[in-house]
Amino acid sequence: MKIATFLMFFMAVLSIKSCKKDDINIAESTLATSSDYLVFGYVGLGRICGANVIYKIEQGKLYADTSRVFCKNQENYQFSGYQLPDSEYQKAKVFVSSFPAELTKESSKTFGCPGCADGGMFFIQLKVSGQEIKTWRIDDAVFRSDNDVINQPFPAYLAKYGKTVADVFSEIKY
C-alpha cells in the first residue's frame, strides 16, 4: 500500500513538473528558428492611431519598428525595423519568458474593446514554424486591470501577462 501511495504521489509530481516544463519550452522554443518571431507593441487608438514603436523578438535579438505604418494598414502590417542592442533585448525577454501557453492555444482574436473610450491596445503577433501567424489585439486595460474598459473580464492568464509586461515598454530604449 505504501508503494502504491508513493507511486501515485510520484506520478502526480511528475505530471505537475512536466506541465510547467512544457510551458517553459513553449516560451523558449517559440523563437527557435529563423522563421519564428514575436511581434508586440502598444498602439494608441481612439481618434488618432499612433504606434510609437512595435518590437520584434527573433533569434535572440530585439528589433524596433518606428515607421508608424501600423495604423495605415493594421490587417496587413509587415514589420520593418532595425536591431537594438543586446541590453534592450535583455529587458524585452520577459515578453517571451512569461508568454502564456494558454494564449498560444487561442486563434487570432480581439480581447476586450481596444480603442473604446479613446484607449489603445496591446498588439501581439506570433509566428511559430509549422503554424499560421496568430495575431491578438488586446484592450490596453490589460496592463492595469483584470477587466477591459467595458468591464468585461480578461482571461486570468492574460491579465497576469499584461501586468507583468506593462512597465517593460517604457524601459526599452529605441
pLDDT tens, residue by residue, 5-50: 333 333 333 333 334 433 333 444 555 556 799 999 988 865 667 6
Task: Give SS3 for 128.
Answer: coil
Cell readout for 6 is 508513493
Supply the pLDDT for residue 5: 36
With CA atoms as reference, report the closest residue to 28 among 82, 122, 98, 91. 98
Supply the pLDDT for residue 83: 97
* DSSP designation for 149: T
Using 50 as the pLDDT threshold, list the residues of the chain that sit under it: 1-28
pLDDT (tens digit per residue) in 39-54: 999 888 656 676 678 9
Q: Count of CB atoms within 10 A of residue 96's CB?
A: 16
Supply the pLDDT for residue 122: 93
Supply the pLDDT for residue 118: 73
What percent of the chain is predicted at pLDDT more than 70?
A: 76
Mean of all residue pLDDT scores within the chain: 80
pTM, rounded to two decimals = 0.78
Supply the pLDDT for residue 25: 37
Q: Which residue has the cell 512536466?
A: 18
